[in-house]
Amino acid sequence: MTFLCGREGVMRFHRIQQYELIYAGGRWYRPQAYGDRQPDGTWDGWLIFFPIGGWSAIAPRGPETTQSTWALLVAWAADLTLAYLESALARALRLAQQPLLIDRLADAEYEALEDAERLERSAEVERTAADLDEAAASAARADAKS
């Protein structure tokens, strides 16, 4: 499932797998693995930790892995153990800041919303122009009949 579609140069994340909840630092987190296809055709694998209760997601500064194919990335994600996930969460929490990945996700979401609004406005202009053209054509047909 693709969660983010941005413009050229913006990441497209594909959720690979969701894991059981992990408790750390007084909070429960839902780990999820995502894939991001690179320009060279390889796939970066990211682990994102979503706190239960509405806090900001936690992510590392860089990918956890890079695999040559989507299938290998899916296999990597399927083989992750609870101990690995707990260790990855601990590393991400130690950074104690929102990494660039989360910022890029938010930026891309806002860009997508702006694009959708811009496209809707353009479509409305085109619909209005089409209505005017149809009215002019109807008037011309009526004039031609008389």
146 residues of the chain, pLDDT tens digit each: 444 444 445 557 899 999 999 999 889 999 999 999 999 999 999 999 999 987 888 888 889 999 999 999 999 999 999 999 999 999 988 875 554 566 666 666 667 777 778 888 888 888 888 889 898 888 888 888 87
Say how many domains are in the chain: 1
Give the model's pLDDT for residue 109. Answer: 67
**Torsions phi, psi for 132 (to 5 deg):** -65, -40
C-alpha 89: how far from chain center: 20
Specify if 5 maps to a domain: no
Residue 72 counted as domain residue: yes
- Model pLDDT, residue 102: 61
Which three-class secondary structure state does DSSP give residue 9?
Answer: coil
Q: Give domain status of residue 8, yes or no.
A: no
Q: What is the pLDDT of residue 49?
A: 93
CA-to-CA distance for 98 and 91, rounded, in angstroms? 13
Domain range enclosing 102? 13-145
Asked, for residue 29, whether it belongs to a domain, the answer is yes
Residue 138 inside a domain? The answer is yes
For position 110, what pLDDT does the model report?
67
Spatial CA neighbour of 85 closest among 44, 129, 9, 29: 29
